[in-house]
Structure 1
Amino acid sequence: MYNLKNLYTTYSNTEGACGYGDVFQKGYGVETAALSTPLFNDGLTCGACYELKCVNDATWKGCYQNAPTIQITATNLCPPHSTGGWCDPPARHFDLTMPMFVKLAPAVAGVVHVSYRRVRCGKQGGVKFEITGNPNWNLVLVYNVGGAGDVNNVRVKGSNTGWIQMQRNWGQKWDTKGVDLRGQALTFQVVTSDGAFKVFRDVAPASWQFGQTFDGKINF
């Protein structure tokens, strides 16, 4: 498993493969990474957190002596054939922002070995829900998720409906089709990959509009 240093100099102006868009605006900052295809898992890993430790060995050196471990959130895909082959399957690769890479090794190192493990995500504030789409197609980005970090199920309930199962559209964007939820207060149920779930009651008031973001007030 490897790190490369400069993904977001190239990809920061797009929504990214997780749908987060501007990771600074979303509160993730520079403590982020794009994952190679096997780790990215078709977007199911979006929002997961990892602890990385730089490792010098007999064949590959470059880490600072006594470099600290760092923690990152998975917020993008490192596309195959985009970084000299480091992100090509079956490689398990983390493409870091420069500020995170230089915590582990000098920028000139370019690529270093790391050991890694999944860790719980510690996020400030509540889970966030960004609502876009149109009257017949509601698209909700779920982000700033603590605990396991990666969401694998979302349901929504309007003040005049029962629970409606949402489908993962891509990354951490979830949709409903053919249901007009306008004029209703919205409650969400979110389940993370470790099976933990929470209900976020009346997150959006009945007056909500497309393009708005709402704070769920609680987190995992």
Structure 2
Amino acid sequence: MGSLPAAAAALALLSLLAVGSCRETQFDVGDAGLDAENFNTSDAAKYWGPWLPARATWYGQPNGAGPDDNGGACGFKHTNQYPFMSMGSCGNQPLFKDGKGCGSCYKIRCRKDKSCSGRTETVIITDMNYYPVSKYHFDLSGTAFGRLAKPGLNDKLRHSGIIDIEFTRVPCEFPGLKIGFHVEQFSNPVYFAVLVEYEDGDGDVVQVDLMESKTAHGPPTGRWTPMRESWGSVWRLDSNHRLQAPFTIRIRNESGKTLVAKNVIPANWRPNTFYRSIVQYS
């Protein structure tokens, strides 16, 4: 049993390498205005902060959700469905934040291109952009990129390739959704991995903790055990004992807000299964 966590972690890493992610930009990065400055991302993290300049590209199908499997480096699936609705975006490091930016929401708009409508649209960080063409770079799904265009000019705007945009961080709004947890495929009694999805409000996750319902000998634990970020929005716990479900999960956001989903993972939990819960805020 002791070798299971290591094997599961290795399999999880292989799955990360296998998923689709943002395609390598087809443009010459040296000509795209990218400089070597060290930049502070605090302005990008502020809700309704200043509108910041960025550049946008798109990938995948013109009216698609991004990569072929509708997933990416965050681990999210079905990004063509609610609440993502194909409005996902790869973000470069100041937006992706080594996975802690997964699920963050941003208002974006474009004005300089003649095909731009100037309207604001909301996009969600669902993937990692490894080949940025600017200080802040949104590699949008084809759907999200087209939504920035004037009526009837979606394809013309896509043909522009790289466009200048502006963005600001906003809270995520997912009416009718509870927080969701997907227990990952290789989870077992001593290795537990969970994908955090559909987090209303902040959207991002900077720490996840797990509380077992009881100790191996029976009494309630009352103790939080920190989980480790595995990749993207997947968090894991390698245990030296058989974990005692049901599990309560606590999430901390970048803003410092804490959410608790009590007994969200039932005693008879199964791998590769979604569980949803209401949350308590603190």
TM-score range for the pair, normalised by the shorter chain length: 0.7 to 0.9
Compared CA separation, residues 219 and 49, structure 1 to 2 (3 A): farther
List runs of 5+ in structure 1 lacking aligned partners. Answer: 81-86
> Aligned partners of 1:15 and 1:198: how far apart in 2?
25
Name the structure, 1 or 2, with higher relative contact order (CA <8 Å, separation 6+): 1
> Aligned partners of 2:109 and 2:71: how far apart in 1?
28
Q: 2:144 aligns with which of 71, 75, 100?
A: 100
Equivalences, count: 207
**2:191 maps to what in 1?**
137
**2:210 maps to what in 1?**
156
* Aligned amino acid, residue 67 of structure 1: G
Counterpart contact for 1:145–1:219, Cα < 8 Å: no
**1:3 maps to what in 2?**
56
Instruction: Decide which structure has the larger Cα Rg and report it.
Output: 2
- Which one has the bigger strand percentage? 1
List runs of 5+ in structure 2 lacking aligned partners. Answer: 1-53, 150-156, 215-220
**1:73 maps to what in 2?**
124
Give a deviation string over 1:53-88, Cα, whole Å, max 9, x none.
1031xxxx3442x431000110001222xxxxxx25
Q: TM-score, normalization: structure 2?
A: 0.67
Q: TM-score, normalization: structure 1?
A: 0.85
> Aligned partners of 2:124 and 2:258: how far apart in 1?
20
Counterpart contact for 1:3–1:114, Cα < 8 Å: yes
Give the deviation of 1:5 after TM superposition: 2.0
Q: How does 1:1-220 map to 2 (within 5 A)?
A: 1-7=54-60, 11-13=67-69, 15-24=71-80, 27-56=83-112, 61-64=113-116, 66-80=117-131, 87-88=132-133, 91-105=135-149, 106-124=157-175, 125-132=177-184, 133-160=187-214, 161=221, 162-178=223-239, 179-181=241-243, 184-218=245-279
> Aligned partners of 1:109 and 1:139: how far apart in 2?
41
Aligned with 2:199: secondary structure? coil
Give a deviation string over 1:172-192, Cα, whole Å, max 9, x none.
11110024325x211111111
- Which one has the bigger helix percentage? 2
* Aligned amino acid, residue 5 of structure 1: W
* Aligned amino acid, residue 148 of structure 1: D
> Aligned partners of 1:163 and 1:198: how far apart in 2?
13
Counterpart contact for 1:63–1:112, Cα < 8 Å: no
> Aligned partners of 2:148 and 2:280: how far apart in 1?
30
* Aligned amino acid, residue 6 of structure 1: Y
Give a deviation string over 1:23-64, Cα, whole Å, max 9, x none.
2357422111111233222112111100001031xxxx3442
> Aligned partners of 2:120 and 2:194: how far apart in 1?
33
* Aligned amino acid, residue 157 of structure 1: M
> Aligned partners of 2:279 and 2:178: how far apart in 1?
4
**1:84 maps to what in 2?**
none
